[in-house]
């Protein structure tokens, strides 16, 4: 029996997620933007926690192959190529490029989740693809909601809850849920089929609409628009082949079990 646990970003640490497959959601908008960029041909996404680190990474790479994206308080950072709108990352702009990105919440959550055996990027756009991938794994699952400025956000909790619900519905014999995972799975049922309404009425969705990004909400609500599995490993997010993810995870689990046995 595999256990699914749910965490807001503030509760994530390496010990809690060690040996698990972590899944990170920041629906508005970082993980949606990352999924959209990769689906449009981006070679890799490098998430970083602050502006200085973003510039440092860009300087270490060949600038003509790199684009710099990110936001603070929802707006594009001065001097960056793009903001955090998924609509900016068209195939014409992003294909065969490396994206270095920093956002207020999502990239911080991803970096925190990097201690897991494998770390995946979740949005409404690739909900079923992530579900399919997780069903092929063997480890416990840590589902992480990025939230907003340290607080929980309804859209991230619902996205995580829908993932958990899909896993349990499709393989009830495989999974047990923590109390918090069961709560967000139950919460998500109130919004099934109402993604756009959810985002439009959420506090952060209303804020994005007020600063000129209302059209992003429909893009972020477009369930299963991208059938990809983004894997965050070695500091980069790339599209993963599911079989290779399974192999990487199994090897990591074996190493983790050996380490825990040595500690005993």
Q: Is the peptide bond before 29 cis (omega within 30 degrees of 0)?
A: yes
Domain range summary for the chain, segments of one domain joined by +:
2-248
3-state SS, residue 95: coil
pLDDT (tens digit per residue) in 29-48: 999 999 999 999 999 999 99
pLDDT (tens digit per residue) in 90-146: 999 999 999 999 999 999 999 999 999 999 999 999 999 999 999 999 999 999 999
* Band of pLDDT at residue 62, cut at 50, 70 and 90: confident
Q: How would you list the strands of the sheet with 230-233, edge to edge?
A: 75-76, 66-72, 98-102, 44-47, 236-239, 230-233, 118-122, 21-25, 141-145, 2-8, 175-177
Looking at domain 2-248, what is its CATH homologous superfamily?
A: ComB-like (3.90.1560.10)
């Amino acid at each position: 029996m595999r256990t699914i646990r749910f965490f807001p970003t503030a509760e994530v640490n390496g010990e809690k997620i060690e040996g698990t497959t972590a899944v990170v959601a920041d629906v508005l908008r970082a993980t949606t933007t990352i999924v959209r960029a990769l689906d449009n041909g981006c070679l890799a996404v490098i998430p970083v926690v602050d502006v200085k680190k973003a510039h440092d990474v860009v300087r270490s790479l060949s600038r003509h192959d790199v684009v710099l994206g990110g936001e603070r308080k929802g707006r594009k950072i001065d001097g960056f190529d793009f903001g955090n709108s998924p609509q900016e990352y068209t195939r014409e702009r992003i294909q065969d490029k490396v994206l270095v990105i920093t956002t207020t919440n999502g990239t911080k959550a991803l970096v925190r989740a990097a201690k897991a055996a494998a770390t995946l990027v979740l949005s409404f756009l690739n909900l079923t693809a992530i579900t399919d991938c997780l069903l092929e794994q063997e480890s416990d699952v840590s589902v992480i909601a990025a939230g907003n400025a340290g607080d929980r956000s309804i859209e991230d909790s619902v996205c995580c809850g829908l993932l958990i619900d899909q896993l349990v519905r499709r393989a009830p014999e495989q999974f047990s849920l923590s109390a918090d995972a069961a709560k967000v799975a139950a919460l998500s049922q109130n919004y099934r089929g109402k993604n756009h309404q959810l985002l439009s009425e959420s506090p952060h969705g209303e804020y994005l609409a007020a600063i000129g990004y209302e059209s992003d909400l429909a893009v972020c609500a477009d369930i299963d628009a991208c059938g990809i599995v983004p894997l965050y490993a070695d500091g980069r997010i790339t599209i993963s082949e599911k079989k290779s993810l399974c192999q990487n995870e199994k090897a990591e689990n074996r190493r983790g079990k050996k380490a825990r046995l040595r500690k005993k």
